Structures are given as structure tokens and as C-alpha cells.
Amino acid sequence: MDFSKLDGLIAAVIQDHITGRVLMVGFMNEEAFRNTVETGFATFYSRSRNKLWLKGETSGHRLVVKEIATDCDRDALLIKVEALGPGVCHEGYESCFFRKLDNGAWVESEARAYDPASVYGSNS
Amino acid sequence: MDFSKLDGLIAAVIQDHITGRVLMVGFMNEEAFRNTVETGFATFYSRSRNKLWLKGETSGHRLVVKEIATDCDRDALLIKVEALGPGVCHEGYESCFFRKLDNGAWVESEARAYDPASVYGSNS
């Protein structure tokens, strides 16, 4: 893998292994990628917190790795997962991609799958 | 959209609008995103060439935009497309994600969809 293009990070696309829905995009440094492969749970590098982030550490909504692919440039990953829990997005949606562009405006295109306050607490 | 996190760029995941297959990941700056929305053809920002890049400009394998979604942080795009031509990848494959991790080694998991030399010339 080529970690040189984005300050040590590569983009990781997370896709539901059965439905094919794209659930989120995260970033991994080399350590996050190694942890993902070794543990079988998707682990990212948080750019805002500057540390490794096991997805589901707080919520329990872990991503169980089913298949890992890389692209021609080896600077992106496509990871097919089984998503534990009702939703991947910390805002309560099944997928982080819950807004669609509709005549120039971003419109929420689905209902929440769970109440984020009950999972993350009311302040997060 | 928040273009501040990756030096003015956001990640754009390109997904076949019918099969759901993830075809490639590219990056867009604000101008590339605006061009994509206005023209209906996916346009990226090439990090290696430092300029806008209309996908399919050379090959004719353009990406016709069918739907655009953004994520909770507004720093990534999911673009569903109709891919013109036999393959999206400049190496001749239907998808850039043609290598899978198999017991610690990257293995090509599919045959080429076209001969890249006949499309791009033998030197590219």
C-alpha cells in the first residue's frame, strides 16, 4: 500500500457485504490498516483526534471485515463488512451517506435507524 | 461541502448505479465538484498532475452522474454513475479494485475488460 500521498493516510470505503450499500469512508494509516487485517474489525485513524479509532469502540457497532480489495494505485481500500448494530453513522443513520443532492440542495433521504443520544450520550 | 480537511480535496467514491459495484475512488476540489454537478460527468482533481481531470477525456470512458450523496461530515461524496465503456480502470479492468487480499497477499481477482494499450497507447 502507498501511504505517501495523503500525509500517511489512505481512504477506506466501507461497503455492506450483502446489500452493496456504501456505509462510510474513513482513513487509515499503516497501523490502522494492520490492525484491521489482524483483528478483523475495521480500525481507522481519526484525523480530528489524531489517534487510532476502532469503529464501534463506544457504540458496539463494529464492522466485521469480510473482504479487502485495493485499487490500481494502491492508495485506497474497499472493505466489505458485516455492520454490527442498526447503523454505521454516529448521527443515527444506517449509512453516513444519508443526504442526497436534489436540485442543488442537500436533502436527507432516509429516516434514522437508531437514536444516537441513547448510544453515545446526549453530548456527543 | 467541507474542503478544509485534505488540502482542499474531498474523497469521491464512484459506484455503478445498477450493480452497486464500487468502481474507483477519486478526489475533487471545489471546482471539480462544481463541474461534476453542472456537466453531469464526473470530474476529479489529479493530485499527481495538479489539474482538473475529466474522467474519460482520453479513453471516452466517461462517468455519467446518476445520483450524488454526501456524508455526515460533508467531507466525502458517494456518486452513483453509469460508466461508459468496458472499464473504469486505466489498467483495463472494470473496477480499479481488482486486487483482493488473500492470506496476506494481494491477488488479482478478475480478468481485464479491455486492452489498455489500445485505448491509451502503449506508453501510458
> What number is the ipTM of this complex?
0.94
Please report the pLDDT score of residue B124 as a whole number: 43
Which among A8, A27, A17 has a CA at the least distance from the CA of B71? A27
- The pLDDT confidence band at residue B120, using thresholds 50, 70 and 90, is confident
Pairing of strands A99-102, A43-46: unpaired
Do the beta carbons of residue A114 and residue A92 sit within 8 Å? yes
The minimal CB distance from A22 to the residues B6, B15, B24 is found for B15
Do the beta carbons of residue B55 and residue B63 sit within 8 Å? yes
Residues of B contacting chain A (CB within 8 angstroms)? 5-6, 11, 13, 15, 19-22, 24-25, 37, 47, 67-74, 76, 78, 89-91, 93, 96-101, 104, 106, 109
The values of phi and psi at residue A14, to 5°, are -105, 120
Q: Return d(Cα B53, Cα A97) in angstroms, integer.
A: 24
Mean per-residue pLDDT, A18-43: 98
Cell of A40: 478483523
pTM: 0.95
Question: What is the distance of C-alpha A4 from the center of its chain?
Answer: 21
Per the listing, cell 454516529 goes with A90
Do the beta carbons of residue B71 and residue A97 sit within 8 Å? yes
For residue A6, pLDDT beyond 90: no
Q: How far is B106 from chain A (nearest CA, A)?
A: 8
For residue B123, pLDDT beyond 60: no
CB pairs under 8 A between A and B: 91
Please report the pLDDT score of residue B122 as a whole number: 62
Share of chain A above pLDDT 70, in %: 98
B71 CB neighbours in chain A (<8 A) are 24-25, 89, 96-99
Cell of B24: 474507483
- The pLDDT confidence band at residue B52, using thresholds 50, 70 and 90, is very high
Q: Return d(Cα B22, Cα A80) in angstroms, integer.
A: 11
For residue B25, pLDDT beyond 50: yes
CA distance to A22, A68, A84, A117, B38, per residue, from B110 (Å): 21, 14, 29, 44, 34
Q: Return d(Cα A66, Cα A56) in angstroms, integer.
A: 16
Which among B24, B16, B25, B21 has a CA at the least distance from the CA of B83? B16
Mean per-residue pLDDT, B3-20: 95
The values of phi and psi at residue A82, to 5°, are -100, 120
For residue A123, pLDDT beyond 70: no
Q: Return d(Cα A62, Cα A53) in angstroms, integer.
A: 11
For residue A124, pLDDT beyond 50: no
Cell of A113: 435507524
